[in-house]
Amino acid sequence: MKKIISFFLVLGLMASLSGCTRSSMTSTEKTTAEAASEAVSAVTAAADLTTETTGSSAKLRIGYACPNINNTFQTYLMDAAKEYAEANNIDLLVVDAQQDVVMQQDQVNSLLAQGIDALIVSPADTSAMGPLTQAAQKANIPLVYLNSNPYAGKETEMPKGVYYVGSQEITAGELQMEYAGKKLNGEGNVCILMGGLTYEASLQRTNGVKNIIASTYPNIKVLAEESGDWQRDKAVAITENWITAYGDKINAIFANNDEMALGAIQCLNTLGIKDVMVFGIDATPDAIKAVEDGTMTGTVFQDAVGQAEGAAKLAVQACNGDSIEDQVVWIPFILVTPDNYTQYK
């Protein structure tokens, strides 16, 4: 497979390529392009405007902006995207923002400067995605937001060429509370471990729990809610503080993800407390094991493969100029309990 640099981008002799179209070259043009490549490399090694080709078909280059590789579910999304890319001859360029929105903006601009064909972004902060959307539109490439929706509740306002693949976050919290309400016989006190407060998922999953309490279980009271930033160790500390403050008044803990649920379980086990129900979201392998051994009361399956593959497929379809019926693709959540956990092992 031979790497070439489009000489017309370097010399400015032709208009920029739009969308994901690749032009074929004559042998003479290839020779010129290779010479131009050497000249550009001498000026800056960062200007990697390469296109890998197989025969006459261009290999798509898709940028993937991850918000935080330390978030367990984000690694599942990233790994699923990588697997799909490898299986479909796609060059996936992955960057990690380490939960820094400014860093994510800089990384996206760098990806665009490398001449990618499409962009997938899992936002570090859904409220700060305007500049990324504008940059992708200026570059005239498809943009697929993944897992966290900057257009939540405003999907009809999404610009042309911008898409979203994820799950309806409020449903996850509703599934948790519907199941928990029955387990609690409609009464008790609960606490909520929230994820990062810049995430739509954190706010909506929490709202889902509260919605079911308000509509169905008025005798269940929320004692406390606090952000554990999706992290297990932070959830341990918060749970310990709650036990100190409320003692045996706590009947259940709802976590916006499995990592925090597992942190709550770790704390409860250390303190020898066995009668507090704990509910998570994601259905990670560790959470499924906890449901199996009875330390986690239930979780909600979030389909990382379905979301990541859905985002990659949308990007490819947009690049190919295929007709796309819906700008938003919803991947359903599924309640996981001791009755069905074996399906998700």
> In this predicted model, what pLDDT tens digit does every residue of 202-217 receive, in sequence order?
999 999 999 999 999 9
Quote the pLDDT of residue 31.
39
pLDDT surpasses 90 at 2: no
Give the alpha-carbon dihedral of 130, 121, 328, 336, to 10 degrees. Answer: -130
CATH 3.50.50.60 applies to domain 60-167+304-331 = no
| pLDDT digit string, tens, across residues 130-162 | 999 999 999 999 999 999 999 998 999 999 999
Edge-to-edge strand order for the sheet containing 252-255? 220-227, 188-194, 252-255, 277-279
CATH class belonging to 169-301: alpha beta
Q: If we measure between CA atoms, which residue out of 251, 321, 312 comes closest to residue 80?
A: 312
Helices (H), the chain: 7-11, 27-43, 72-87, 101-113, 130-138, 169-183, 200-216, 232-246, 258-271, 285-293, 304-319
Domain with CATH 3.40.50.2300 in the chain: 60-167+304-331, 169-301
pLDDT category at 39 given cuts 50, 70, 90 is very low
pLDDT tens digits for range 69-79: 999 899 999 99
